[in-house]
């Protein structure tokens, strides 16, 4: 089955700096890659997603890039703000009849003043 | 916030007991997926229901079972509870089963003593 690795496990940046989180996946058939933000005690919230027919997608300060050949995708957050502090999870879909999401282990992002 | 709701929010059980968790999907969504999130880890796929049928299952034993109702709400049942079942149980609804965006509910925190 699919295996998703995520790095780094923790990331501390100063407000205004950029943050980059990287994920690799194992199943070349995966074609959907969402990113979720989870604040303490709250539900995972979709922040951006990308499908395999696209190499890059941007939404304001957030962008995701996908390299299907290398089987890795990355989340880029620019001009970080304290409210960006949370745990971020990447995921990949296991294609087939069910859209099973396989998640990475998470990155705890801390934005300091 | 998504339109996905879950009940109860918290639950305490003892080993060997049985538990039923409930999920109401977002309006118009016919697919519900259930995930288990242990403390400090990413969500792990339990199973998915599409139009009242199980549509894929993760690596969980048969004592984890589910149902989906005609209104597309869903239940997760866990029999013979074990200490390791303590976790946040999340449901996610999507428009269809195939790589559509999944929107998570707030989760049910289950503690097994």
- Measure CA of the first residue to CA of the last residue in chain B; give whole Å: 32
The predicted pLDDT at position B11 comes to 96
Q: Give the residue, A26 or A54, on which the prediction is more confident.
A: A26
Least Cα distance to B87 among B61, B63, B60, B107 occurs for B107
pLDDT of residue B66: 96
**Whole-number pLDDT of residue B46:** 96
Residue A43 Cα, gap to closest chain B Cα (Å): 5
Q: What is the pLDDT of residue B1?
A: 65
Per residue in B69-90, pLDDT (tens digit) is 999 999 999 999 999 999 999 9
The mean pLDDT value of chain A amounts to 93
Q: What is the pLDDT of residue A23?
A: 98
- Whether A45 contacts chain B with CB within 8 A: yes
Instruction: Convert A31-42 into a string of H (helix), E (strand) and C (coil).
Output: CEEEEEEECCCC
**Chain B residues touching A29 at Cβ < 8 A:** none
Characterize the bridge pairing of strands B87-94 and B31-37: antiparallel
pLDDT of residue B56: 87
Handedness of CA B29, B33, B36, B40 (dihedral sign): negative
B9 to chain A, closest Cα gap in Å = 11
With bands split at pLDDT 50, 70 and 90, how would you rate the model's confidence at A51?
A: confident
pLDDT (mean) for A4-33: 96
Does the pLDDT of residue B59 top 70, yes or no? yes
pLDDT of residue B55: 86
* Across B44-50, average pLDDT: 93
Burial class (CB in 10 A: 0-12, 13-18, 19+), A1: exposed
Confidence class of residue A18 from pLDDT cuts 50, 70 and 90?
very high
Is the Cβ of A42 closer than 8 Å to some Cβ of chain B?
A: yes
CB B98 to CB A100 under 8 A?
no
Model confidence at A99: pLDDT above 80: no
Tell me, what's the pLDDT at B6? Answer: 97
Nearest to A36 by CA among B87, B108, B2: B2
Nearest-by-Cβ selection for A98 from B56, B105, B107 = B56
Query: What pLDDT does residue A64 have?
Result: 97
Chains A and B: how many Cβ contacts under 8 Å? 69
Q: Which range has the worst mean pLDDT, A36-50, A54-68, A85-99, B70-84?
A: A85-99
The pLDDT of residue B99 is: 59
Per-residue pLDDT band at B97 (split at 50, 70, 90)? low
């Amino acid at each position: 089955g699919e295996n998703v690795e995520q790095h780094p496990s923790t990331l501390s940046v100063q407000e205004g700096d950029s943050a980059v989180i990287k994920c690799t996946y194992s199943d070349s058939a995966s074609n959907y890659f969402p990113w979720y933000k989870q604040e303490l005690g709250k539900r995972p919230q979709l922040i951006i997603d990308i499908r395999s027919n696209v190499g890059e997608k941007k939404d304001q300060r957030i962008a995701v890039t996908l390299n299907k050949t290398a089987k890795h995708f990355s989340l880029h957050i620019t001009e970080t703000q304290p409210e960006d502090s949370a745990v971020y999870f990447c995921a990949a879909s296991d294609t087939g009849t069910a859209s099973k999401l396989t998640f990475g282990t998470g990155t705890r992002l801390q934005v300091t003043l | 916030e998504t339109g996905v709701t879950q009940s109860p929010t918290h639950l305490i059980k003892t080993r060997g007991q049985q538990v039923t968790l409930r999920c109401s999907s977002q309006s118009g969504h016919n697919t519900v997926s259930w995930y288990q999130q242990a403390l400090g880890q990413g969500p792990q796929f339990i199973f998915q229901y599409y139009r009242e049928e199980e549509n894929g299952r993760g690596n969980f034993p048969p004592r984890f079972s589910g149902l989906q109702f005609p209104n597309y709400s869903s239940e997760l049942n866990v029999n013979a509870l074990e200490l390791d079942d303590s976790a946040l149980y999340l449901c996610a609804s999507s428009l269809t089963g195939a790589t559509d965006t999944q929107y998570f509910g707030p989760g049910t925190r289950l503690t097994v003593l």
